[in-house]
Amino acid sequence: MLEINNVSSYYGESVILRNISLKIEQGQVVCLLGRNGVGKTTFLKSIMGLVKTPVGSIKLDGEEIINLPTYNRAIKGIGYVPQGRDIFPQLSVYDNLLLGLECCKNKTGMDESVYELFPVVKTMLGRKGGDLSGGQQQQLAIARALVSKPKLLLLDEPTEGIQPSIIQDIAKVIKHLKKQGDITMLIVEQYLEFVLEVADYFYLIDKGRIIMEGSTRDTDPDEIQDKMAI
């Protein structure tokens, strides 16, 4: 589904990622773990075409996309929820959701199934995005990415600054989508307990390189924690 081979990424002349390779099968939930500043967000931005990636290959459903602009990658079926959510504070919740449809070639109106996943969003359609709490904004950001019915959903630190009850709500949504099998997910995360709950497979990154990978079921969490602490 998503196959990344030997990708290196740069900010200016600084190398952030070095020869990263990663593979995700259709319907899988894969998490990229690591401490702050090790290249996790840069990796997602590389997939979206938001940073310079002159080396390597990024294939979506077998099609090379590394040279496509960001908008075309969204059209190909990649949904992206950035760190910090990036909702539009002066727009209503409903208008924020509508922006998620901009990449759809055949816009057929709002897919109201997102309201079933995030009931709180439906109750706040007329409110400004900036009036929502951090957890509500996160739910809105994920819902906005889902209205376009992406093949691949990228989530950057979905639990950051979120209260535990909403983290559990987001985990339930991820597990529900995984059960349906229509959306493949790559999640950047530091919260190991959340990763073990929702993910099938993980990669651990440090200093721009993958240093560990494995099934979340078959790997000792203490071993992952020890590697993260190095």
- Residue 37: pLDDT band by 50, 70, 90 thresholds? confident
pLDDT digit string, tens, across residues 47-84: 999 999 999 999 999 999 999 999 999 999 999 999 98
158's tokens:
């979905």
Contacts of 102 by beta carbon, 8 Å cutoff, 6+ apart: none
Q: What is the mean pLDDT of the chain?
A: 93
- The angle, 0 to 180 degrees and rounded to 10, between the axes of the packed helices 164-180 and 134-146 is 10
Domain boundaries, the chain: 2-229
More reliable by pLDDT, 230 or 193: 193
What superfamily in CATH does domain 2-229 come from?
P-loop containing nucleotide triphosphate hydrolases (3.40.50.300)
pTM: 0.95
CA–CA separation, 190 vs 30, rounded Å?
13
Q: Taking the CB of residue 126, how many other CB atoms lie within 10 A of it?
A: 9
CA–CA separation, 217 vs 220, rounded Å?
8
DSSP SS3 for 180: helix
